[in-house]
Amino acid sequence: MPEKLKLVSWRDIIFIALPSLLLAAAAFWLAAQFIKPAPPDRLIISTGGEAGAYQRFAARYKDVLARYGIELVVLPSAGSTENLQRLRDPDFEVDAAFVQGGTARPGEDEELVSLGDFYHEPLWVFYREAALRGGDKLLDLKGKRIAVGGAGSGTQQLALELLAANGIDTRNSKLVEAGGLGVVDSLRESEIDAVFVVGPTQSALIWTLLYTPGVRLMNFTHAEAYARRFPHLSRLVLPRGAIDLVQDIPPRDMQLVSPMATVLLREDTHPALIDLLMQAASEVHGEHGVFQVPGEFPRAGHSPFPLSKEAARYYKSGKPFLQRYLPFWAATLVDRMVVMIVPLLAVLIPLFKFAPQIYGWRVRSRIYRRYGELKFLENEINENPAAHSRAEWLEKLDRIEVDASHIRTPLTFSDMLYTLRGHIDLVRDMILRRTPG
């Protein structure tokens, strides 16, 4: 092995290897500009009131994400409006938030994206039977005391929007900023006459109101008209007995209107965390329900906010390919490394292909250079053999031969070197013939 190493020209190797290493380093640096850092080990989500559906769903998300080693930090809030304010505040530390459909539109330089429709979030209007008999229109609430939801909630925004469409405002009715389980006692004690609530049937507040004696659920006879007038609303039917067959709740089919609940997040949220959120949403919201069939949610939807690229990919292809076969940490690691490996391979494969050719060209060039010197010497002898003595001609030829003998030549090129030496001997014979001794 040492003898073979002597045949290698380290200068040629360095000449080829150094630029190759620099080129590979440049490719590595360029790829590093596009690679995402490792996903953080926690995700912060803004939800809603302590007893609300957003809180309950977030608790289930938390269990799902914990299986992948991600901590979900839950921040309670007043509701949808406050959640949007938090997302839009660059100084507030939050990644995602539940938002009620129709509560906002994207701004000019908006950097929020949607994960699609997660579930129906119906509007429920409950009223005291003693204060309003047979009420089936919001117009019947004029002059009453109405709880429209807490400040900063999507419930309040939707309630005021629908009441205004019916000519109801603070000038002709008493609108109370109140929400949460406290409104149940307010209804029982006749402090208010009606209450607006937005949420799924699983909501503790809705469930309590449905079973509260003396409290009735309003049937929206104008549900289709509201859905046509307000694009973010859809008409739903709560079938008779869907809540409780034994107690016949509700006692007849009830028409409701409903926005969609979604999750908005900041555009710079790590893609791997978005993938996990989508998996959690599918597990939590993909179940059957009163207003949905199994697997109906989540879906792409028609949010005014752009759909996240990761969410769009999830709706099209499902769980990321690597996560189907590898643990989450391994899948994200491989996914990040691919970004580095692809450009490196794009550089290294041509290098491995052309580097030996460049090395061979450099070795041949040194042999060809001696051939050039030999040819010039031969021409000089032919033109004027008397220009030098035999000894001087032989001395010039010997210098070419010595140089040729010191060329570091791999075994692959040995035939060229031996051929050169044979040609040197031919020129030596010519000198001996053409010059006097």
Model confidence over 232-278: pLDDT tens digits? 999 999 999 999 999 999 999 999 999 999 999 999 999 889 999 99
3-state secondary structure 393-432: HHHHHHHHHHHHHCCCCCHHHHHHHHHHHHHHHHHHHHHH
Nearest alpha carbon to residue 100 among 159, 51, 153: 153
Specify the amino acid at residue 150.
G
Model pLDDT, residue 84: 93
User: Across 1-76, where does the E strand assignment appear?
Assistant: 42-46, 71-75
Tokens 């020129």 -> residue: 427
Q: What domains appear along the chain, each with residue ranges and CATH number?
A: 2-27+340-434 (no CATH), 37-119+261-320 (3.40.190.10), 122-258 (3.40.190.10)
User: Across 54-108, where does the E strand assignment appear?
Assistant: 71-75, 96-100
Strand partners, 263: 98
Mean pLDDT of the chain: 85
80-89: average pLDDT: 93
Task: Tell me which H or E stretch contains 23.
Answer: helix 10-32
Per-residue b or e along 120-154, where b marks 16 or more CB atoms closer than 10 Å to that residue's CB: bbbbbbbbbeebbeebeebebbeebbbbbbbebbb
pLDDT above 50 (res 7): no
Model pLDDT, residue 436: 76
Identify the residue with better confidence: 180 or 217: 217
Tokens 């006879």 -> residue: 221
Specify the amino acid at residue 402.
V
- The pair phi, psi for residue 354, each rounded to 5°, is -95, -20
* Residue 295, helix vs strand vs coil: coil
Model pLDDT, residue 108: 77
Tokens 């040995």 -> residue: 414
Sort strands 42-46 and 96-100 into parallel, antiparallel or unpaired: parallel
Percent of the chain with pLDDT over 90: 51
- The contacts of residue 87 (CB under 8 Å, 6+ apart) are 46, 94, 96, 97, 112, 264, 265, 266
**pLDDT digit string, tens, across residues 338-361:** 666 666 667 667 767 776 777 777
363: its two tokens: 């070795």
User: Is 0.85 surpassed by the pTM of this model?
Assistant: no
